[in-house]
Each structure stands twice: as C-alpha cells, then as structure tokens.
Amino acid sequence: MRKTKLYLALASLMLATPAHSYETITVGNFEAQLLAPGESAYAIGAQTSEGAYTEVGDRRIITGTEAWTEGHRDAISRSLQALEQSFAMGSPKRKMQIAFALKKGKEANLGDSLGTLIYDQYLTKIISTGELLLRDNSPTDKILGSVDDTINIYTSTPLHYGPDAPGHDQYDFQSTVTHEILHAMGIMNGNDTDGSYPNGITRWDSLLEDGKGGHPTPENSPSMTTTGKLGTVFWTGAAAKATYGGPVPIQTFADGYKEGSSLGHPGPAGELMTYQSDYLEFPRAPNKLLLDMFRDMGWKINEAYYNSFGPTYYSNNSRISNTNNFETSHSYTYGMYVNGNYNLIEQSGNLKTTKEYSNTLHIYGDKNIIRVSGKQSAEANYSHALYAFGRYNQIFIEREGALAARGDGSVGILLFGADNTIFHSGTIKARDGATAIRIDNPFAHQAQGGHVLNASLHIQTGSEIVGNIINSASGMADMTFGSNYASDGISSSPDPDFNFSYNDEIRGNWHHTITAGKLNLGASAIIEGNMVNYGTLAGNGTIIGDVDSAGIIAPGNSIGKLTINGNLSQTSSSDLQIEFGDGGYDQLVVSGTAHLDGALSLIPIGYLAPGTHQFINAGALAGNFATVNNFSSSILQTSAASLNPSNFTLTRRSYASVSESQQQSLASAFDRARPTASGDMADTLNLMDLMDLTDIRQAADDFSPYFYNSVTTAILENIRTRSTFLQNKIRGDEADRQSPLWFSGYGGTTQYDKTITSNDFKTKYAGFMLGFDRQFASGFQLGAAGAFTDFSLKEKATTSKARGSVYDGYLYGSWSPQANDAFYLQSTLGIGLTDSKTNRNIPFLDRTATSDHDAIHYSAFLGGGYKQQIGNWSLEPRAGFEYINLDEDGCTEYGAGAASLAVNSKDSDALVSSLGVEISHTFDLNNGLLVPSFRADWFHNFSAEGEDTIATLQSGETFSVDGRTASENALELALGLRVLVSDKLHAYLEYQYTFADHQNGAHLLSTGLSYYF
C-alpha cells in the first residue's frame, strides 16, 4: 500500500541545517538523501505571517535502519530522471531535497511520504516547499533544517529494484519512489476524515468535487463527502478532463475514510498515483493524464515529453480502433494507451517506441478484447511491445500482426493478471536480451474454490515466435499448439496443417497440449511442463516434464535427439518415428520410464553404415510396440523386434549388385561415393536408396551420360552426309565450265533407334554450301568450298536436346573426261568446327544439366566411277572410301546439382566404304535441259563401334559408359532433278532417304543454284 499523510504544524523560526553524513544522489533539480542506519531527517509544518515562519505540532522525523544497496541507488536515480524529464522547471536556485529512510516497517506498506508544508496566516491555503521551489520558483531554503520531503521505504514487503519488470509477488521499488515524491510535489489534501478543511486547502483540493457538487472550503464544518464507492469524488481540472473524457474519479472507500489515502489518489486503476498497486504493477513515470493534472495545478510541463505519448483512451464498453502510425521519442512513454473494461480494441497501425522503459501498446483493465493486426515495435531496453494488466482479457495477435522487442529486459507481450488468453497467429521476435512472452498472476494468492487463477496461450497456424516464453507465476498456465480458434475465442477445432518451429525456451509452470499438426523443436529448445500430444512432437529439444502421446513422436529435425526429462506414456494410436541416415539415427532419451505402445516406424533419409543401432535410451522400459513398420527397398532393409525394443538392425546392398551390366561402372562410382557423400550428392543417393529395382535402374540410366553418345553419333553421321553431298555435287558438274562459282542449300531430318547405351533421338539440320572451282582442258577440276550448318538434336524419352552450328571447309578435285563411257576419279579433304550447347535432362530428379560442347573434325574421301552414256540415258556405277575423325572437347555441366557431370574429351573415327549406281535421263526443252535421276548407294562402316564416354561425378569418382554403335551398313536411295537453264545457270532438287542399322529413317532434302562465270 502506498500511503500519504498530510502533516500540518504551526510555524517556527528558520534555523541552519545541521551537518549530515548521508549519501546523496543528484539528478537535475532533485537531490535524494539516503539516510544511513541511525541517521534522521525531518519535515515540518510552518505557518507564515508577515514573512516569518512558526513551527506548529510534531515534526515528521524519519530514521534509517537498513543499509542501501546498489539496486536501491539505481532505482532512485531512474525515478529522479523520469521526474526531471516530465516537467519544465527552469533553473531553481536550489534543488528539491528528498530524504529517504530504509526500514523494515509493516508488511503490505510500500512506503509513506510527508513533505514540509507552508500554511498561510488565514488558514486558507496549504502549499509544499517542493511546489514553491519547482513550480513557482520561490525557494524557501531549509526551514529549521527540514527537507522538502521525507519518505519511508519498507523492506518487509517484497520489492523489485531492477529496471526490468518486477518478478512474481514483487512490488516495484522505483514506482513507489516516484509515487511518494509526487505527493510532495502537490498531490496531497488537507481534509479531516469528516470532509472539513480546518487548516486550509491545497491546490489539489481546490479541484475536487463530490457527486453532490460539494467543493473543499477552508472551514471546520464538512464541505465534502469523503466516504463512498469509487465515483463519489472527482477531479475537475480542465486539462485532465479533456484527456480522461470527463471528470476523473478520485479514490474513496465505501467502508470508511483511510487516513493518508482517501482523496489523495486518482481513482483509475493502473496509474502511477493509484491508491494501492497490486503485485507487478510498475508505472514508473507520469503519463499523459497525470501530467495534465499537474498542468491543472499550475505546473509547466515538458511539452516534447507530453507529445511523445500516443493516443490515450479511458473508456468502458467501447470500440477503439487505431489505424494510424505513431512513434515515441522519449523514455517512459507509450505508443497507445487504453484504460478500461469491456472494450474492443483494434490496433492495425504501426506503433514504435524508441526509448527505454516504454510500452508500445499499453492496456489496463478487465474483459477487453484486443486485436492486433499492425506492427508494434519496442526498440530500446526495458520496453514492451504489448503490456496488458487485468483479468479475463482476450488478446488476438492476427496473422498480419507483428510484435518486436529489442534489448535487455524488453518483452514482446508482457501479460499480468488472471484468466487472460492469448490467441497467437502472428509474429513475435525478441532479440538482444529481450523475451518473447512473459505472463504472471498478481492475484495468485486469491484462490477461488481452491483454483489458482491462470492464463492460456494458444499457438495457431501462422505463428512465428523468436525468444523465450516465461510463466513467472507459481500457478499453472495452459499452452496449446494446433487448435484453430474462432473469432469469439471460445469454439475451436484441430488444425492438421499447423506447423510451428521453436528454438528457444518455455519456462515456468505450464501444461502443454499439441491438439493437431506439428510442433518442431530446435536443438536449443527447452520446454518446461507436462505435455499431451495428439499431433506430432518433433525436433531436438528437451521437455522437462511427463509426455503422454496419442500422436506421433519424431525425434530430430532430420537426424537428432529428443529428450524427455520425465516419463513417456504412449497409447495404442501413437507412432514413434525413427529416421536414420546422414551417418546417424534419431534417438529418444527418457530419464524416467518409457511406456511403449502403438507403432514403431523406421524411416531412411540418408546413409547409415549397416549394423545394430540403439534408438531409445530410457531409465526403464515398459510395454511393447503393437506394430513395427520396417523399411525395405532394393538397397535397404531394417529389422526391429516389437517386444521391448531399443535397437534396430540395418542391412545394405551395393548399387552395383542391383544394376544392369551397362550401369556397372556408374553404380560402382556411387558405391565409392556413398559413405562420404554430402550435400546434393547425398540427397540424390538418399532418394535412390528408397527406390525399388525398376526405379533405381531407370535412375541410373537417367544419370548416365548416354546423351553424349547420341551427340557423337549425330555429328559423325552429319559429317558424312555433308561430304557425300559435296561428292554428288562434284559428279554432277559439266566438264566445259570455266571458273564456276556455285551455291547450294540443303536440309534434312534423321531418326535414330534406341540402343542399350543411347536413347532414340531425332536430328534436324539445314545449311548451305558455297564453292569455287576451276576446270582444266585435260579433265581435271580443282576447287574449294565452305559450308554452314545449323543442327538440333532431341531425345524422345528424356527430351534432352542439343543445338549448335557447324563450320566446314573443303578442298576437292576430280578427273572426269567429257567423252562418254569414261572413268573418273574424285577426292575431297575437309575440316570443320562444331559449336553447340547441350541440355541433358535427368527425369527422376526433374533437372537439366547444361554444357557447352565443342568439337573439331577432319575428313578425306577418294573414289571413282564409270560414266556410260546411252542416248539420252546415263548409267554411272561408282565406289569409294572415306575417313572421318571427330575430336570432341571435354565439358563440365552445370545447373543440375549432383547430376552435373564433368565429361572427358573423346576421339572418334569412322572408315566408310561406298558402292553405288546412278541412272539419269536428259530431256531437251529447247531453252534448257531437264535431267531427272535416281541413285542408290550402299555404305559400310568398318569402325562402327563407338568410343566410351568417360565422366566424373561432382564427388570426384570417375566412371564410363559404352559408346553408341554407329550404323554399320546403310543404303541411300535418292531422286533428283536438275534444270540447266543456260550454260551458266543450273538448279537442282534432290530428296534422299537412308535405310541404316539403328535408324528409323534418315531424310535429306537438298536444293541448290549454281552460277558459272
């Protein structure tokens, strides 16, 4: 109880102040004198008359009996700082002197205060020396050695001295100090118990009015009602009325007058100058309403401080909505304040406090509904994003709501009271020494039917909480996870989609219930209190209490250990899920007895060496699992017994043992990599470990670089096709041309069959060839040509594809007499560069590996034939040999994680023989010639077997796959049409179809235009 007693006395003379050895604390215009044990100070009552003072009555003497601590000193210093910032006092000629005595005193009394008072000669007015000094700038100096204020602080009541919020069952020392000093600064009254004012009235008294319209008057007869329930007496100051919304009730008591307390305290609960504070209340500085009361008493207020208070409401049964943003600039302020009961409070604005000892949203009262969908940030030490005190309040942190607290002693939600409930779906982030949520119950000693009043915290979907959650009360509080509450805060349903991760500490007396969904504990999580689980309890944290589980217990986040410092009891519907892999396995540690029932499920997530592994470590085991869900795949098999199991056995097959012959090299590379695989390679192999035989073989095929076999085959075939195209062009030239320049275009598609080391694929290409040659009279022809080809390749099964460009250069020569029935010879030499980009798809991972694939090739051809003319018909048998060398650069894939390979360079050769015949007929059209033709050529490849493709995994293991076997035999059939418009201008069109091994058909369409100069 905070008590004040107005001490009135007759005047005396002013004497010099005796010497003291007390310790002093000076802040601005205030000087605190800390009396040592045995040291005294006093305040007096003095009547003034014609400039003289006369002391009347007993002096108020206080004497220290206990020593001061650093905690006392710090709290008093903070109190003086708060007062210094509240008022605009100027520069008084001396400091207000406040003497403090620390003593044991009466239990339930926090302290009392009595200042030195000046009473005028007509007994009409009373004023304290503190008022004269700091408000009126009229220093009285020390009267008879008195101080301006004497304050007793009683240590028999549990006091809290720190800058943070008080602990359980503690009163706040700093609040008490500030409260008592403010009494000496003017909140005091001169009435007797009957409502008379025989010795005058104070400024405070002058603004009082009772419900009957009575006002204090300086006379011996009663002029005020002093006894009655709250609402009997009011404060009528204009500034305070504007802030409060009407006259401010003053504390009265229905059962009688309490000396030193009645009429000397504002009535609204939760205020600094309230008559009696409950445990845990700690308003430590004047707020907006109290500053207005002092303004009404003539004080000058620090307007910058005053304007740093946000919206202020004193209301009951109202809807209070704030959509505005507000940021404070001083300590001991708030962003928004509501004092009252039965209110609906909606806060959707952005509120921020930037200085210490401030509350972003401050609520005091009972049965309020508070909905937060805005942002609330407490950015300095010992500040709180949401402070609420009262009973039966409901606090909804909506999904859009975000609370932040930063600094030592700060709290995201500081909830004091009984039967309050938090419904949390938003975000609370506490950092730099702050706490996320703290609850306490100052009414815990007020049992109702033996039930200790409590609080509830419901963690719902959307919640993110960073920071500790603390119940500092002795009574139990409830916490639920995964219940979806309606807007009325009463009806609820289990939320199977709930998923909440937490990595801090929940301390105090809690009872936890996982209703549905998943609670995932981080390695640093410590949860105090018994728990009932109907959903999923997972993670690496520690639960200090007993756990009853009818749901899933899944130790670890991936692989980890869940510790229960207590007993575990599983029901028949429970499931203990043990994952193994990544070199370890989940473990459940129970300090007490593990009562087993329900199911045990063994789940692979990575590599674990074969052997026997213990997954339960309990003080004792009881019961057994009704069902054991062992795991089996083509690679892994587990076994565990159902009777009192604490171990499981793992066996493991190699990848090579389940792979096909063409996959052995890759499978062996996987086996070498598996024990130490990490990152994405480990994840990929983890996936393969779970596959059945068909899927794991398909995955090996997907992983293999077969696509590069397809690319090699396509490039080789395309080189030969362009070379053959040039050979046919040379054979078709007329013999009587001189210095011809010619141009030809071509395009085609080829379908290739699937082989054991290459999927079926299709190529498309188009390009042109430009040449210049010279014919000699002897029948010789020499020339050079260049070609550009754009090509693409696409696999049917995997949709892997390649696209690129080829640049060729040729030298060619022939000997072809003009006479009929003549032999001819021809030869070509070629060189070319291929610049392509490949995209190799890996279907089982749904990834694409990209690479830049370059190559250089060489070709040489030598052949001949016999051209026989029979009238307008021509018959031409021929034969030849061609050698092709393809040198492909190595490449490194990217974009597919562990499936990206480093592919070695590769050198491929082809030696191809050809044997064929061409038949044509010439039609004379008077203004030109038309020559249709048909040809058939058979090719045999003496080196059809492809070179192996060698690649390296990202983990460093090298492997190879057999190359694709090229077409060993091929038959080309072609229909052509040549048009000789003049001696200089020729045009042609040819369609070619190829039958070949490992091909579904190759189509080539070529067209050209030749102009001879």
Tell me the pTM: 0.76
CATH of 704-878+908-946+970-1011, one of 2.40.128.130, 1.10.1060.10, 1.20.1430.10, 1.10.3720.10: 2.40.128.130
CA–CA gap between residue 113 and residue 12 (Å, rounded): 21
What pLDDT, in 10s, does the model give residues 834-844?
A: 999 999 999 99
Per-residue HEC secondary structure of 608-640 comes to: CCCEEEECEEEEEEEECCCEEECCECCCEEEEC
**Number of Cβ atoms within 10 Å of the Cβ of 385:** 32
> Mean pLDDT for each consecutive 10-residue tract of the chain (1013 residues)?
33 35 93 96 90 86 96 97 96 94 82 91 90 91 89 92 92 94 94 89 95 90 89 96 97 88 92 83 94 98 98 98 97 98 98 98 98 98 97 97 98 95 98 97 61 80 98 93 93 96 97 98 97 98 98 94 98 96 92 96 91 94 92 90 80 94 94 93 92 94 92 89 86 60 84 84 91 82 94 92 96 80 89 96 95 96 91 92 95 95 94 94 88 94 86 94 86 91 80 81 75 65
DSSP string, 959-1010: EEEPPPPPPSEEEEEEEEEEEE-SSSEEEEEEEEEEEETTEEEEEEEEEEEE
CA–CA gap between residue 960 and residue 57 (Å, rounded): 110
| Sheet with 949-952: strands ordered across | 891-892, 902-903, 949-952, 958-961
| Sheet with 647-652: strands ordered across | 611-614, 647-652, 636-639
CA–CA gap between residue 616 and residue 614 (Å, rounded): 6
179: Cβ–Cβ under 8 A, 6 or more apart, which residues?
2, 111, 272, 273
Nearest residue to 7 via CA among 61, 53, 76 = 61
- Alpha-helical segments (H) within 679-816: 679-689, 693-703, 706-731
For the four alpha carbons of 697, 700, 704 and 710, in that order, the dihedral sign comes to positive
924: Cβ–Cβ under 8 A, 6 or more apart, which residues?
none
User: Is residue 132 a contact partner of residue 138, using CB atoms and an 8 Å limit?
Assistant: yes
Pairing of strands 45-49, 171-172: unpaired
Q: Is 254 exposed, middle or buried (0-12, 13-18, 19+ CB in 10 A)?
A: exposed
Amino acid at position 143, single letter: I
pLDDT given at position 717: 84
Pairing of strands 801-815, 60-63: unpaired
pLDDT given at position 904: 96
Locate 486 and state its tokens. 């309606």
User: Is residue 623 a contact partner of residue 597, using CB atoms and an 8 Å limit?
Assistant: yes
DSSP string, 584-613: EE-EEEEEEEEEE-SEEEEEE-S---SEEE
CA–CA gap between residue 706 and residue 903 (Å, rounded): 11
pLDDT given at position 581: 86
Residue with tokens 């030239």: 733
Bridge partners of residue 879, in order along the sequence: 864, 915
Residue with tokens 């916490």: 479
Bridge partners of residue 661, in order along the sequence: none
pLDDT given at position 18: 43
Locate 446 and state its tokens. 């007020």
From the centroid of its chain, how far is CA 819? 87
pLDDT given at position 818: 65
Nearest residue to 278 via CA among 72, 509, 110 = 110
User: Is residue 912 a contact partner of residue 941, using CB atoms and an 8 Å limit?
Assistant: yes
419: Cβ–Cβ under 8 A, 6 or more apart, which residues?
391, 392, 453, 454, 455
What pLDDT, in 10s, does the model give residues 102-112?
A: 998 776 678 89
pLDDT given at position 2: 37
Query: How many residues in total does the chain contain?
Result: 1013
Beta strands (DSSP E) in 135-180 are 149-154, 159-160, 171-172
Secondary structure class of 577 (helix, strand, coil): strand
